[in-house]
Structure 1
Amino acid sequence: MGDPAGIGPEIVVRALLERPDLQGQVVVAGDAATLRRAADVVRLQCGGARLDVMVLGGLREWAHASRPGLALIQACVPGSLAPWGRISAEAGRAAADSIAAAARWVLAGQARALVTAPVHKEALAAAGLPHPGHTEFLQSLAAEHAGVPVSEMPVRMMLSAPGLATVLVSIHVSLRQALEAVTTQRVMDTIRITAAHYRRCGMPEVRIAVAGLNPHAGEGGLFGREEIEILQPAVDRSRADGLHVSGPHAPDTVFMRARQGEFDVVVAMYHDQGLIPVKLLGLEHGVNTTLGLPMVRTSPDHGTAFDLAGTGRASATSLLAAVDAAIWMSRLSQS
């Protein structure tokens, strides 16, 4: 359900109202009172359309449920309703507990894929979660499930919109730390994880472009030697492994070239380098996918939008794109 103080619960309700075909495929991990409140505010914006919230005892009961509506499993401790638009430890804990419950269902093979509504990183921190966001939290849960250290389950964030996909070498760290994270091994790992994802999705010959770190990809060492000493070796070794990789390309044009069809995906060196171009195309169609997990996980490409919470006006378009992507990827991974 995402952060109960944000728009997550409302866009979950709106998504199931707009796409009734999903009502038999989606179960929500969250809080019943929060989702019922969301259903009430969305109904006022949707011409009185009603969506019943059915609280189930578990996934086995969901498998046998036949009537339409929002199937929900209480995944967090029931409490007072979180005030809309406010950061709180209680909201962060409810969101974290819901993520953990849903992730464990998927990891155990009880569900096919996980789609997460937006969370607020400050609320998660206030709740004592030692992870800066979804990606790192899910990595920890998956490593725990597999019985391996987190270091043995490297993951990467991919953000995609129609016409452009980017995968990040580093995620939620400071820019200074992100620059330090650009190593030949991390870039090679990112390329490998990206290729493995596309292979599972039926694209064994995916064309991967590696973005440079410096202006003009270093201009032959004039503006920095990272391209020569770090990135080029990663590209060369990945090619030697049989992957279709090119670069390092000038970062100010590589995303445009990918959108024009020259590449299928761009490996970006840090968070904003890769996400600004995708988000410029429009948040309403963006999908965040975590690569490297032993499960399918997607999310919408926007945040909790505290300023909209409680109005019922938030769009479910990006969430629906994430749900459709999760269904598609989970079918491919099972085939």
Structure 2
Amino acid sequence: MSAATVIQTLNSFDPAKCSGELERVQLISAARSLLAKATTPFEFGGGAKTTKQLAELIGADPYFLHRYLIHMVACNILEQVDGNTFKQTHLSEGLTVPTLVSWVDYLYEFLLPLQLGWPGYLKKNGLKEPPHSRDGAFQDVFKCPGKTLFNYMEEKPEAGDMFNTYIGGNVGHDLEKFLAKHPGTASRLVLEDLPEVIERVKHNFFHPQPIKGARAYYLKTVLHYWSDEHAVKIFESLKPSLVPGYSKVLINDVVIKTTDPDWKTTGEDLAVMMVVGSLERPEARWKRLVSDADLSLVRITSHPAALESIIEVELLPN
């Protein structure tokens, strides 16, 4: 059966046609299994291993470890070859990718403490958005008044390393992909970051842009970490370097849908509100932000399979 047929069948399915509770439970189980099978594969190999072999690898008691292995089989994370032998699935292989390992660390070190502390923060401050990136739930939970998430990570390098691995920061993945796909397009590609993060071109985007007159300035998931007030300041630091009619600011960020929303982007919206007092912006909010910075929003380009869009911005015409 083709993927298109499966998608059509799932979209047309009516849950009311389940013959009873047993069939409904079986349907849910099959859906979970399908989700695990459809997860993007990462090829690592290694083959099937017994509980004893796995226990020896990590220095665990086999009986203790077996209880977790069985649970992972039930969750479609591992496949059980026989009673005591297990092998990886696409899902478990994906969970070994360094960015996802760091995401789990980020989840437990940052997001879960913030979620636990969020009700208390709202009780003290009212049911409203945090007023500032330096005065929100993060400062309340981690006891760092007046400091942003990024100030906190500067003082705790291990937290910064974890965050940069999770987001894939400071490496230049997008520049490398662009160069591979369009090798003759640009004569010069420059990766900028804070000096403590990378030694390519030292730059703080609240300071004047050092590269003047570039064809494009690319901001990859930058502005969703900052309030409108701070985002305008980032634009103001960039504007003097733009050439009218030539330079573009390409913003690679979420444009959150106000109807038929996607749970991943709405979840990210709540996460950045808790962590940095910011937001994922809908189209109207992006237009307002660009207008507040006295810039022109040319177009927004989206793809149904992508969470993020490209927002093209330029100087206002004279």
TM-score by length of 1: 0.28
TM-score by length of 2: 0.29
Please say which structure displays the higher CA radius of gyration. 2
Instruction: Give the number of the structure with larger relative contact order, counting CA–CA contacts within 8 Å between residues 6 or more apart.
Output: 1
